Amino acid sequence: MNTPDFSPYRAFGHNMPVNTPSALDPLPQVRIPRGNAFVLDSPKQVHLLGAGGAGVSGAARLLFAQGHTLTGHDRERSPFSEPLESVGVRIRYGDSQAGLLPERTQVVVRSAAIGDSDPQVIEARRRGLQVLKYAEILGWLSQRYRVLAAAGTHGKTTSSWMLYHALQGVESMRGAGALVGGMHGDLRVNAIPPQGEGVLVVEACEYDRSFLRMQPRGAIITNVEADHLDYYGDLDAIHEAFACFASRVSTEGLLVLGSQVPEVVEQSAGCETWRLGREVQVEIQNKRGGRYTFGLKGPGWNLPRVRLAVPGSFNVENAALALALAMGRAQRKGLDLRVAGEGVADSIASFRGAARRFESWGTVGGVEMVHDYAHHPTEVRVTLEAARRTMPGKPIHVLFQPHQHSRTARFLNDFVDALQGAARVVVADVYGARAHIDVQAAGSQDLVDRLIAAGIPAVHGGSPAQSASTLAAGLQGACAALILGAGDIDGIQHELRSELALRCA
């Protein structure tokens, strides 16, 4: 059997079992005793801190659909906050001040990036208001809906949207909702309220141990690797967290694991588990322009042909995991698995990607531009590999915005290895998210120096706008520009296109 060249992920963990509800039980009644964190059983006046963040903005869409009245605050506008404003959510911007907390606020919801020292958090507590972290909202959602979760160091955003698509392909499973940390590329939303059975696909982020608030009815774990060390401290703590997450999946649910998820994570689960390469088998049938067609088999079901519209061998694994969990749900519902298989395969073929995940910015003056959210060395490497396959023969110039000084410091050499083969690398200033808790720190020039020492042409570009100009100045003839980073580097799209258009005028 031919299988794609999946990247190796090595990890170990600890068995941390917890009791979880049965997947077949009716949805539990959420009872809210006075002082309990889950105070959102009836409409409230909710104020969002970090309203433009991927998680909080998505939760806001679900809260809005349930009748809560929302206000919010963030430092600046984002692609996530603007859609909320369009439906009437009043969001204020700038530095946080106590006076920005509306008088009628009953509950405050904050992102993991908002600390206890935030003036509005302090003011809310002075007033005796409940202040919930985004992670606590996930816990509440797990009680309110039938949650299917996608976790993992890499690929969870894409896998979440793939799972959502797969479920929509079966008539009796349509109506599933979604809460995802990245926008759907076509729908341009990051959350969709569930209908019907109350199934909600949730991207389960490991940062701040958010996913340990959840009790999903089924789950995917794509992979486990060192990241978020500014929070966890070491790899052992990450392994322990993923093992605990596995143990929280309903005992009558299903956990689908990537090919390299460590055995100890599987051993922590109290439910049925399928592993890619064991119960779930992939057979590659064709590859064209970096996009794969494959067959997929699992216990009692067979998808003879799945065609992906998104490139990269890593997306074969993402799709296989999503399809397997969808088929597992169809199996548990007693559906015709042949019909269900045709539906999920057809539906996932229509998925053209999440925003900022190998997102095409078009071609200007012979320069093909692609943007990706990659900010970990593994993500940078596999994205660069996908670019080589989808744009064969073209020299690939990379504009990379490092994300966090601590991650840059810990993975300097790994980033150098990941960027091998780039025709040139422009390194923008580090996007300093959560800089207040960074212990280790390295800057863009540190990475540039390491790249040059390794024989990779590199230059420090400065701000995103300056880096766009530097990148454009070196793009000659038919080539490719790969823009990487999880910060605000996506904001250069129009500037870069203008620079290239002016050069061709």
Calculate the alpha carbon distances from 261 to 247, 274, 295, 315 in Å: 14, 11, 22, 16
Q: Is the pLDDT of residue 59 over 60?
A: yes
The DSSP symbol for 81 reads: H
Cβ atoms of 399 and 489 within 8 Å: the answer is yes
Nearest to 49 by CA among 117, 101, 85, 89: 101
CA–CA gap between residue 74 and residue 94 (Å, rounded)? 7
- The predicted-structure confidence for 463-482, as pLDDT tens digits, reads as follows 999 999 999 999 988 899 99
DSSP annotation string for 94-130: SS--GGGS-TT--EEEE-TTS-TT-HHHHHHHHTT-E
Domain positions in the chain are 45-133, 145-349, 359-504
| H or E element in which residue 46 lies | strand 45-49
The pLDDT assigned to 11 comes to 25
Which residue is it, tokens 């790899």? 235
CA–CA gap between residue 121 and residue 99 (Å, rounded)? 11
Q: Calculate the CA 392 to chain-centre distance.
A: 27
* pTM of the model as a whole: 0.78
- For the record, the structure tokens of 152 come out as 């993992």
- Quote the Cα angle for 171-211-189, to 5°: 50
The pLDDT assigned to 34 comes to 37
The pLDDT assigned to 440 comes to 64
Q: Calculate the CA 212 to chain-centre distance.
A: 16
The pLDDT assigned to 298 comes to 97
Nearest to 197 by CA among 341, 65, 333: 333
The pLDDT assigned to 2 comes to 42
Residue 160 burial (C-beta neighbours within 10 Å; 0-12, 13-18, 19+): buried
Cβ atoms of 58 and 179 within 8 Å: the answer is yes
- Quote the Cα angle for 403-408-413, to 5°: 135
Cβ atoms of 129 and 106 within 8 Å: the answer is yes
CATH number of this structure's domain 359-504, picked from the four choices 3.30.465.10, 3.40.50.970, 3.90.190.20, 3.30.360.10: 3.90.190.20
- For the record, the structure tokens of 99 come out as 């006076």
Q: Is the pLDDT of residue 168 over 90?
A: yes
Domain 145-349: CATH superfamily, name plus number: Mur-like, catalytic domain (3.40.1190.10)
Domain 45-133: CATH superfamily, name plus number: NAD(P)-binding Rossmann-like Domain (3.40.50.720)
pLDDT tier, 29 (very low <50, low <70, confident <90, very high otherwise): very low
- The predicted-structure confidence for 283-339, as pLDDT tens digits, reads as follows 999 988 788 999 999 999 999 999 999 988 889 999 999 999 999 999 999 999 999
Q: Is the pLDDT of residue 96 over 90?
A: yes
Average pLDDT for residues 360-372, to the nearest whole number? 90
* Partners of 131 in the β-ladder: 108
DSSP annotation string for 386-436: HHHHHSTT--EEEEE--B-HHHHHHTHHHHHHHTTT-SEEEEEPPB-TTGG
Polymer length in residues for the chain: 505
Highest mean pLDDT among 30-39, 139-148, 290-299: 290-299
Q: Tell me if 45-133 shares its fold with 359-504.
A: no
Q: Among 28-42, 66-80, 397-411, whose mean pLDDT is lowest?
A: 28-42
The pLDDT assigned to 505 comes to 56
CA–CA gap between residue 30 and residue 458 (Å, rounded)? 55
- For the record, the structure tokens of 405 come out as 């000084």
| Cβ contacts of 307 within 8 Å, gap of 6 or more | 291, 293, 345, 349
Average pLDDT for residues 444-453, to the nearest whole number? 94
The DSSP symbol for 92 reads: E
Name the H helices within 208-336.
229-232, 235-247, 263-268, 313-332
**In this structure, what are the phi and psi dihedrals at residue 492, rounded to the nearest 5 degrees?**
-90, 0
- The predicted-structure confidence for 328-359, as pLDDT tens digits, reads as follows 999 999 999 999 999 999 999 999 888 788 88
Residue type, 165: H
Cβ atoms of 319 and 8 within 8 Å: the answer is no
DSSP annotation string for 128-140: T-EEEEHHHHHHH
Name the H helices within 169-271.
229-232, 235-247, 263-268
The pLDDT assigned to 325 comes to 98
CA–CA gap between residue 459 and residue 425 (Å, rounded)? 7
Residue type, 65: A
Cβ atoms of 341 and 303 within 8 Å: the answer is yes
Cβ atoms of 358 and 468 within 8 Å: the answer is no
**In this structure, what are the phi and psi dihedrals at residue 398, rounded to the nearest 5 degrees?**
-115, 130
The pLDDT assigned to 5 comes to 34
Average of per-residue pLDDT values in the chain: 86
Strands 177-179 and 254-257: unpaired
Residue type, 55: G
